[in-house]
Amino acid sequence: MARKAMEYKAKQPPKFKVRKYNRCPLCGRVHSYMRAFDMCRCCFRKLAREGKIPGVVKSSW
């Protein structure tokens, strides 16, 4: 319930713009958010491994 409430709160426009923070739209995670891909590292890793993010490949050496 707390996570749902925080996701809802994040969607509301803040009273002051410095209070805005980014959330992953897929899972709602706050930390380790990547702006370039608009998702958190967990979702990024999962989608990259499935090949759903164009231009991202797993490195092997």
Residues in the annotated binding site: 24, 27, 40, 43
Instruction: Give the residue ranges of the annotated binding site for Zn(2+).
Output: 24, 27, 40, 43
Q: Rounded to whole angstroms, how far apart are CA atoms 8 and 51?
A: 30
Q: Is the dihedral of CA 25, 27, 33, 38 positive or negative?
A: negative
